[in-house]
Amino acid sequence: MDFLSVQNVILFLQFIVSVVALIFLIKYVRSTEGIEKAANEQSEGLSKPVVTILANAMQSDKAFFEEMVAETTGQHVQLVNIGTGPAIKLKWSIDWTEKGNKGLKGDQQGFVPYLEAGKTLETSLPRVFLTGQIECSVRCSYRSISEAEYTSLAVLDQTKITKVEFKRSGTP
């Protein structure tokens, strides 16, 4: 075996070692992406906004047997952030429909730059308006500090909240 063939074998072995190292590097990068995603989800849980309609729990025995979750409170319909982080770029809409003969419909919309955790926001829709034969839905969309997008929905039958939903609607 002459000097050039030994040199070619060494170059070939160097190439094989480089390819193997590249394969391990790609696997390592993929595994760290999974770790990063899990860490981001964990940190999101520490500062996650949850906006819904402000309500009092029903105290009667009737609440146990009916599908009513809670009852609205205050003079106007109010939103509250019950989460652990601020709701940023909060948009809300309140859509209502009269259940009677007229079948009137309407809506009200609003926006605030943020709503701190534990704080309430009073809308201009009077709560007494809901005491008639009104079905109403309150939809909110907002972002967390990490730019994750969330939506929440509360459905009311007159002043009684009958349905509440929260979901993450987008990723940062």
Output the six-digit token pair for 156: 């009311």
Helix/strand/coil for 59: coil
Give residues with Cβ within 8 angstroms of 4, minimum separation 6: none
- What pLDDT is attached to residue 22? 96
- What pLDDT is attached to residue 70? 56
Angle made by CA atoms 70, 165, 120, in degrees to the nearest 5: 60
Specify whether the CB–CB gap between 121 and 112 falls below 8 A: yes
| Residue ranges in the chain modelled with pLDDT below 70 | 1, 3, 57-73, 101, 103, 128-132, 170-172
- What pLDDT is attached to residue 146? 82
- What pLDDT is attached to residue 168? 87
Strands 55-57 and 87-98: unpaired
Classify residue 21 as exposed, middle or buried by CB count within 10 Å of its CB (0-12, 13-18, 19+).
Answer: exposed
